[in-house]
Chain A
Amino acid sequence: MTDVMNYMPPLIVGNELKEALSVLPHYAVSIRKASVSERLIELSRLYDVYCPSPMTEEIYCKLYLALLRSLQKKQTKTATIQGNLNRQGIGNGIIGGSDSFTILGMSGIGKSSAIGRAISLIAPKPIILIQEPYARIAPIITVQTPYDCSVKGLLLEILREVDKAIDTNYHTNALKARATTDALIGSVANVCLHSVGLLILDEFQNVCGKNGSTLMGTLLNLINSSGISVAMVGTLETKTFFSNASFQLSRRSLGLEYGAMSLDKHFINLCRTLTSYLYVRNDFLLTDEIVRWLYSHSNGVTSVVVSLIKDTQEVAILDGTETLSISSLNKAYNQRLALLHNHIETKEVKHPSIKSKPMSVHPIAEMDAENPITDAVSEIKKNGGNLIALIREKIKVIEVQI
């Protein structure tokens, strides 16, 4: 397709990109004087806040270039030949995959949010309309990898999403025709060849299931027969699948990998931005101590940070303390995020490279004559549970940074 750039927005970089990616909902300081119910409702705006990170910028560039590459391959002579081969059911993939890559990262670090923001910039319009030859192209299609690794399920899901995007009837026709998987592959390949720019497969860790290899093989076939770019988004456990697979599959797994954030200026900026959305009545000052506390209690996972700040304010509003502080943060951490304690504290043990350890400002308490530590250990051995949390219940604990 000639003049692909006419159909795509310009590639943004630098500060302009950061500004474009940011989402900062409207906030008025006067909300702090509003009623409890109004503030609680407004508090949910914290979930709308988005601060772009280097990860977001990388994802944006990757997706943009993948879409561009895919569009360049459309309506060429090779695409025409491939379309006819697909129609005849000949499995030769002469057009080749444009670009298949992975975006892997731990749960909660913001992959899907980053992708969503990137898509909103790369594909502001839902359809790319080309006049000659006439074509309606859905720039980006996102589907969930089936939990049961069903090949047919994935192919039908792709058709359904395409129908939603460009107002066609492929999915209905496929169901009516009771198409076999082989026929579906040809059909989906042709649909993608002419009508899809970039395919994003979310929750790709589902491929680690029973029929994962079959699903991956089908995906490779689809990539080679349609020439579109495919982005596979999932958690880090997908790495295991690819590392144990053949070279052919592993080759396709090259891409972006993200772990938790480190305690850097981006994290500090995130905390500053989130805490600027203050809904408690008392003032708040973000200190280094609080930043370190937030980092140690979230392990650098963005979603946990957001939940911490949001839930802390919620608890503070509800119980009337109306203060955002380390004690209220601790309270919310203990009450609302109890289920995450194992994951966060377990990771503390496994990743000793994290410089700061969890801190609290509780004063040192006198030891109980009954030796609560021994009791706590015995109880844990008997019933299981979290030792530190149990000790905290009995005595006051102070933690210091080594």
Chain B
Amino acid sequence: MISYLPTPYEDELFYSVLCRTYAHSGYFSYKEVLRDMLFSKSNNPSIEFIGHLNADFNALVKQAYPMEQLILNHTMFPQYGRFIPLKDKKSALHHLSTDYCDAHHLFCILPRSENDLYLKYCPLCVQADKDRYGEAYWHRSHQIRTMSICPKHYCSLEASSIIAKSEKMFTLSSTEEHTLITTPRVANNSALTEYSKYMCEVFKAPINLTTDIPLSSVFYYALRGSKYMPNSTKARHTQMFAEDLKAYYCKMGLTEVASIYQIQRTLLGDRFDFSVVCQIAYFLGISVRDITEPCLTEEQVLQEQTSHYIKGKAPIDWDSLDKEIAPQVEQLTYNIYYGIYGRPSRVSEKMIYRELHLSSHSLENLPISKGILEQYSETYEESWARRLIWAYNYLQNEKGAIPFYWSDLRKLSGVKKTNVNKVLPYLYKHTSSDIAERIISLISF
């Protein structure tokens, strides 16, 4: 059992708290302390979130500190979850607080660029922390993607040797042992410094858990009246916007500028990447408050949603769609199941989506169609049995009196001999015992 859990410092990563716990404990190696903290041996300590803790340590952490506050103030939740829809935000917070859920299932976490591969630190912050607390720690704000300047001291952030990907992190590496550079590099780029400050303020702003104003609406009203969306037209000049944005940030010295695709998807409310949102918001001059706690009325939001043509983005009426495609689903599943145009097959969801041009997981919103699909659900073994029967009947009709063998059956049905034993019980279900026995004798021969 862990006997000492230090209080998180201001803006400290929870991973850093675990590192300090290890540093101040009497454990001989990180493996022992991870065994007492994590759920299983195969779990890694999570750098950006809480991680999969075992029941005892989880209870200890919750007893010491409110979990929700820990997530909001000591993990990278604001980076990934700030701008996602309210329902998803609350769901993510709930899952992270109550049960372990991989963050990749809750947020869209993009691959890291070269500049964000390692944990970053500011030499002056390290010194200030040592003076104040006696030890340094990993700051959250330094780990924001694309952040290259310390928003407090305006010096360049240094990359440590600690890899920032949780999947590749197996140790607890404290700042004390891995911050080598002590001489700060002053950043002589006031524009980049201001932008870094802006990103940090957005990151640290309180998370809005009450109102759900789409980001697309905020950008709409920021763009409207500008040269990118004149009042006289409904269309956006996204190409021009992306080019100007890129030029602006390249001149600033930012290494990763949002692409036109990322900008488009963000403006339309499809994507919520923190750095892209900050780049757009800063470029458009949207204040920190307006981007983090937007104040738009329902009418304004509705106006935005109906103001311009969004290809394929009209809200879907699932009930109508379900009724409309149910006969098509019925026909399609029947054809596949009974092999109207060829060999009978097992009906799968993927086939339905492909043939009817539906998006993945649509059937979850189409109960009638899903019910039809379930009527035709079967195991693989059962479908192989039906194939064998079909193949036998086909060969019987085609060849007439000419004998045919197992190889012919195998070629036509596609069923392997190794699977035959699993298939046998289903033969009697789908055909007469006479034919079933003939098929079995062919297999045995």
Chain A residues proximal to chain B, CB less than 8 Å: 77-81, 83-84, 87-88, 131-136, 159, 166-170, 173-174, 176-177, 179, 183, 187-188, 190-191, 193-195
Contacts and interface: CB of A to CB of B under 8 A. Distances in A.
Contacts of A87: 23-24, 176
A172 to B, nearest CB: 9
A179 B28 contact: yes
Interface of B: 1-7, 23-29, 32, 36, 60, 63-64, 132-135, 174, 176-177
A174 B4 contact: no
Contact of A183 (B5, B23, B28): B28
Given A78-B134, A133-B4, A177-B29, 14 more contacts: A77-B133, A80-B24, A83-B24, A84-B134, A88-B177, A133-B7, A135-B5, A136-B4, A167-B1, A169-B1, A169-B32, A188-B26, A191-B25, A193-B24
Given A132-B7, A169-B36, A194-B24, A84 B135 contact: yes
Contacts of B26: 159, 170, 187-188, 190-191, 195
B29 A81 contact: no
B55 to A, nearest CB: 15
15 contacts: A79-B134, A80-B135, A83-B24, A88-B176, A170-B26, A173-B27, A177-B28, A179-B28, A187-B28, A188-B26, A190-B25, A190-B26, A191-B25, A194-B25, A195-B26
B135 A81 contact: yes
Contact of A80 (B3, B134, B177): B134
Nearest to B177: A88
B28 A173 contact: yes
B4 A135 contact: yes
B64 A134 contact: yes
A87 B176 CA distance: 10
A135 B134 CA distance: 18
Contacts of A84: 23-24, 134-135, 174, 176
A195 B2 CA distance: 11
B131 to A, nearest CB: 9
B128 to A, nearest CB: 13
Contact of B3 (A81, A173, A194): A194
Nearest to A137: B3
SS of A interface (majority): helix
Contact of A133 (B6, B32, B134, B135): B6
Contacts of A195: 3-4, 26
A30 to B, nearest CB: 50
A359 B403 CA distance: 128
A198 B36 CA distance: 26
B64 A131 contact: yes
Given A173-B32, A187-B27, A77 B134 contact: yes
Contacts of A169: 1, 32, 36
A136 B3 contact: yes
A238 to B, nearest CB: 28
B5 A134 contact: yes
B3 A135 contact: yes
B134 A194 contact: no
Nearest to A165: B3
A173 B28 CA distance: 7
A228 B64 CA distance: 25
Nearest to A88: B177
A191 B3 CA distance: 9
A215 B431 CA distance: 88
Contact of A190 (B5, B24, B32, B176): B24
B4 A132 contact: no
Contacts of A133: 4-7, 64
A114 B4 CA distance: 31
B7 to A, nearest CB: 4
A166 B60 CA distance: 14
Contacts of B2: 168
B252 to A, nearest CB: 38
Task: Identify which of B3, B23, B177 gathers the most chain A CB atoms within 10 Å of its CB.
Answer: B3
